[in-house]
Amino acid sequence: MNLSNMLAAIPGMSRHNSASVRTEGVWIALILMLIFAGLRYDAFLSEYNIMTFLSYNSMFVLIGLGMCFVIMTGGIDLSVGSVVALSSVVVASVSHLGIEVALPVGILVGVGAGAINAFVITKLKIVPFIATLAMMLGARGLALVISDNQSVPVSWESNFTQFGLGKAFDFLPWPIVTMLVIFAICWVLLEKFSFGRHLLSVGGNEDASKLMGLQVDRTLFSVYIISGALAGVAGVMLASGYGAGQPLEGMGWELSAIAAVVVGGTLLTGGVGSMTATLLGAILLGLIFNILNFENGLGSISFSAYWQSVIRGGFLLVVVVIQAKIINRQTMLKS
């Protein structure tokens, strides 16, 4: 029996294709919302709104993709929002050196945070929730210390701000280009390389994966580094697009990432996941708030920005409850 057949025999690997069913649901919801918004709001499908919407939500897509890798292994990363803030502060302080220096520095900040998370989880055997919670607090505190609890202005004399505000080929904003390139890389990693099969098998059944001879710790180490690195890139986008490193930004972003992942059909128990569905889930969540902003403009409702957290939390709770019912039903059918 070759390795592919061995992996297919692991519980959880057989569930990979079930994610496609959930992906169809996200597609349907997204299309229906686009039709509704396009018919109701005059400027909704304008180039300005589309590009602004996608540019802003690129950051959430990136941390969602990283979170998807982590959750597929049965883990969680609560530190991504704080790592985004820390990365934005650090890169703002070196922005005078240009994006050629700032972008790698931001990625290194994220990789460092992810490596610490991975070490604590794999070597010290601390559960991911506690390990990444500690990193969330530590990274946030470090960002505040470095910035002295102030926004850190970026240099407008270098090309740093072009990464967040400029356009590739004078058409597509760089954040969107970056998001699409990273999404393509993540999709290929999951769908076309053994790495994807390994992490799905770890999430499906970690003990069985060890018996099969898979390097479980190496796989876990990789996904937390990827999650940290993508949070680092999001931090560069934040500082470059808004002209300052923001030590207080990113609060609750980990919930947005988790929501995007579970809305896309990835099970919190691990073993199932889809990069495409996660991308669609992040866009769907962003679209909800975009529609609410347009509705506010019509005067039909009056939701403040604080209501977004309430709606996001409620939406996440509903999806998790639905997931739990699906899992329980599948368990009953198998038994």
CATH number for position 211: 1.10.3470
Where residue 299 falls among pLDDT bands split at 50, 70, 90? low
Structural domain span for residue 183: 39-334
Which residues have CB under 8 Å from 210's CB, separation 6+?
216
How confident is the prediction for the chain on average, in pLDDT? 86
In-domain check, residue 27: no
In-domain check, residue 8: no
pLDDT digits (tens, 9 = 90+) for 213-266: 888 999 999 999 999 999 999 999 999 999 999 999 998 899 889 988 988 878
Instruction: Using DSSP, state whether 106 is helix, strand or coil.
Output: helix
Helix, strand, coil percentages (3-state) for the chain, rounded to 5, are: 75, 0, 25
- What share of the chain has pLDDT > 90, as a percent? 59
The reported pLDDT for the residue numbered 326 is: 65
Spatial CA neighbour of 142 closest among 193, 99, 105, 88:
88
In-domain check, residue 73: yes
List the beta bridge partners of residue 245: 152
**Do the Cβ atoms of 332 and 302 come closer than 8 Å?**
no
In-domain check, residue 29: no
Instruction: Provide the H-helix boundaries in 123-247.
Output: 128-147, 162-165, 174-192, 194-204, 206-211, 216-242
Instruction: Using DSSP, state whether 153 is helix, strand or coil.
Output: strand
Write out the two tokens for 285: 């969540």
H-helix or E-strand containing 60? helix 47-72
In-domain check, residue 23: no
In-domain check, residue 19: no
Q: What pTM value is reported for the model?
A: 0.88
Spatial CA neighbour of 56 closest among 204, 208, 256, 216:
256
Instruction: Compute the distance between CA of residue 225 and CA of residue 128 in angstroms, rounded to an integer.
Output: 13
Polymer length of the chain: 335
Write out the two tokens for 96: 């005078």
Spatial CA neighbour of 8 closest among 188, 209, 266:
209
According to DSSP, residue 300 is labeled S
Q: Which residue would you say has higher pLDDT here, 26 or 330?
A: 26
Instruction: Give the number of other Cβ atoms within 10 Å of residue 4's Cβ.
Output: 11
Number of domains comprising the chain: 1
In-domain check, residue 116: yes
Instruction: Give the number of other Cβ atoms within 10 Å of residue 315's Cβ.
Output: 16
Instruction: Compute the distance between CA of residue 63 and CA of residue 69 in angstroms, rounded to an integer.
Output: 10
Quickly tell me which residue has 């039709």 as its tokens. 35
Instruction: Compute the distance between CA of residue 48 and CA of residue 290 in angstroms, rounded to an integer.
Output: 13
Q: Which residue would you say has higher pLDDT here, 293 or 177?
A: 177
Write out the two tokens for 134: 């500690």
In-domain check, residue 277: yes
